[in-house]
Structure 1
Amino acid sequence: MTYRTSEIRKSMPLLPIGTVIQLTDLTARQIRYYEEQGLICPHRTEGNQRMFSLNDVDLLLEIKDLLEQGLNIAGIKKVFEMKKEAKLERKLDKELSEEKIRSILREEMKIAQSRSQKPSLRYADVTRYYQ
């Protein structure tokens, strides 16, 4: 199973609030409050029932841990914001790195073509890294 498939499965809304209450030892009121504060955003069914993913449960457990460590809701929001920014930066760094690699490979291909030589890497070998 690839990382992408695993992440998709973890984000599928499958659990009703009653199950989440049992898994997290939080009350329905606490869960609704965290939703009101924008800390979680469970999926809603056509009947407006909240359905939670495994990622939502992990997030609720993280909120619970941070509260037990003494953070308030504003502090938790700040922690989540910082994590989101760090994740975005890592994604941008990765994209920039991949773009740099592609640029180098394009230049190598141009040089090889101008010399009527084969490039040192085959196209098939390179493209498998970008699928």
Structure 2
Amino acid sequence: MDRYTPVFAIAAAAELAEMHPQTLRQYDRIGLVSPQRTRGNTRRYSLHDVAQLREVARLSAEGLSLEGIRRVLQLEDQVRELQGRVRDLERALSQEMLNRSDRRVFAAGSSGGEVVSVRRGTRLRRNAEVVVWKKP
């Protein structure tokens, strides 16, 4: 069971949302909250639906019209979908970058700390000479 599993009858959902069952029916008619239906066509609300009903009540208390609330909920859903899409694309890009065979590798050069590009799978030879420096 997750937060989208429809388990609550209208009376229980109304009590959890602190609303009258008729209000839930009205919100269903206008599309603010759309519970799932059983085979007998009775409404079944999930925890997500109850949270959305509470959000509708909060926005209504702040003075938004029902149409304004519907639009806010619609935009919030759209933002969530887009955030999920961005996460998927970032994951795919990261995976692609790791799997590229022509990926560039950089190393510190042998003199002066410059950065040099090397072919993947190769190593730079290091100069192992010891230099003694005397103060002039």
The root-mean-square deviation of aligned C-alpha atoms, in Å, is 2.0
TM-score, with normalisation over the residues of structure 2?
Answer: 0.71
Q: Which has the larger radius of gyration?
A: 2
* Residue of 18, 39, 46 corresponding to 1:46: 39
Large movers: runs of 4+ above 6 Å: none
Distance 1:79 1:85 in 2: 10
Q: Deviations over 1:56-101 (max 9, x none)?
A: 1101111111111100111101111221221122112112211111
Aligned length: 107
* Residue of 34, 52, 56 corresponding to 1:59: 52
Distance 2:96 2:14 in 1: 51
Q: Deviations over 1:107-127 (max 9, x none)?
A: 1xx248xx7849xxxxxxxxx
Distance 2:48 2:4 in 1: 6
Aligned residue in 2 for 1:127: none
Q: Secondary structure at the match of 2:2?
A: helix
Aligned residue in 2 for 1:122: none
Distance 1:63 1:73 in 2: 8
Q: Deviations over 1:29-79 (max 9, x none)?
A: 110111111111111111111111111110111111111110011110111
**Structure 1 unmatched runs, 5+:** 1-7, 119-131
Q: Secondary structure at the match of 2:44?
A: strand
Distance 1:48 1:30 in 2: 18
Aligned residue in 2 for 1:94: 87
Distance 1:30 1:12 in 2: 21
TM-score, with normalisation over the residues of structure 1?
Answer: 0.73
**Structure 2 unmatched runs, 5+:** 104-118, 123-136
